[in-house]
Amino acid sequence: MTTRTGAASRQISQQVAYGFLIAATAVVVIPVLVIIIQIVVIGADAISCDFLSQAPSQAGKAGGIFPAILGTFYLMLGTIIVALPVGVLAGVYLSEYARDNWLTRTVNMAIVNLAGVPSIVYGLFGLGVFVLMFHFGMSLLSASLTLACQALAMTVTTSREAILAVPREYREGSLAVGSTRWQTIRHIVLPQAMPGIITGAVLAMSRAAGETAPILVVGAAFFLPGLPHSPFDQFMALPYHLYTVAAHIPGMSRTTIWGVALVLLAVVLSFNVLATIIRLRSRKRRYST
């Protein structure tokens, strides 16, 4: 009798725990689903050829968002042109050359923590350094450099990890035939680490696409009469456009707001999916010989 009640109470506590776990997971998943469904359902009506290819008019109430899409792509491009090479070179130095001492460990920790710095702080840094000190002005260049500084935390860390994951046997095999250290890095280590490095770079780009706060203070504009023609021009960008139409333009149609959100989400998610594909493909290549 006692054993039977013991078993029953164990059964109950098992089910209670199970219920809590399911509930917690639902709390995580449901809001994401609701947001995505809402964006897609409402925003889809706004999407049209004109919406994607025309400039906005009447403060964004009419016309399209093409300049913002283009500006965001320019930003991603500018960010990665700076953040990828610097990140890879720093990653090579930190993993292959730097001695393992307190200074290196401190630098590594600082880089990891850079990712946790609020993005508006990067914005202020960019305003002070690129806009004012270097006189790049409120421009695509200043914004790209600012976002690149923020992206570096990610590109350095992922490069370093991808390089460290290259098996020691490969390096030794290369050194044992009289290759220099740099030749070993250039011809063995970097090609092996490349999928990991690219994955990190793509994720860094997708984050740069979504940043709003830093670009606000270093060059994004809500409306410009023309497209940017040089890195020193101001630009429009999707997240800032979304913020403005959603919060500052009275009488904005809900459809347009959600339409902008849908385009931004599509850009960011497609880059995340791309990163996942690169990672999976390289993993497959590594294990199927």
Binding site for other proteins (CB under 8 A): 99-100, 167, 169-180, 183, 187-188, 192, 286, 289
Which residue, 94 or 145, has its beta carbon nearer to other proteins? 94
Each residue of 27-49: b (16+ CB within 10 Å) or e? eeeeeeeeeeeebeebbeebbee
Contact indicator for 237, 161 with CB cutoff of 8 Å: no
What single string gives the DSSP state of each residue in 86-115?
HHHHHHHIIIIIS-SSHHHHHHHHHHHHHT
Which residue, 254 or 286, has its beta carbon nearer to other proteins? 286
Closest distance of CB 289 from other proteins, Å: 4
Closest distance of CB 27 from other proteins, Å: 44
Which residue, 188 or 238, has its beta carbon nearer to other proteins? 188
Name the amino acid, one letter, at 252: M
Please name the residue that has the structure tokens 């964004």. 60
Contact indicator for 92, 185 with CB cutoff of 8 Å: yes
Closest distance of CB 194 from other proteins, Å: 12
Closest distance of CB 181 from other proteins, Å: 9
Contact indicator for 49, 121 with CB cutoff of 8 Å: no
Which residue, 192 or 244, has its beta carbon nearer to other proteins? 192
Which residue, 230 or 289, has its beta carbon nearer to other proteins? 289
Closest distance of CB 287 from other proteins, Å: 10
3-state secondary structure string across 170-237: HHHHHHCCCCCHHHHHHHHHHHHHHHHHHHHHHHHHHHHHHCCHHHHHHCECCCCCCCCCCCCCCECC
Beta strands 62-63; 56-57: pairing state: antiparallel
Q: Reduce the DSSP state of residue 57 to 3 states and report it.
A: strand
Number of other CB atoms surrounding residue 8 within 10 Å: 10
Closest distance of CB 200 from other proteins, Å: 21
Which residue, 177 or 247, has its beta carbon nearer to other proteins? 177
Which residue, 187 or 254, has its beta carbon nearer to other proteins? 187
Closest distance of CB 167 from other proteins, Å: 8
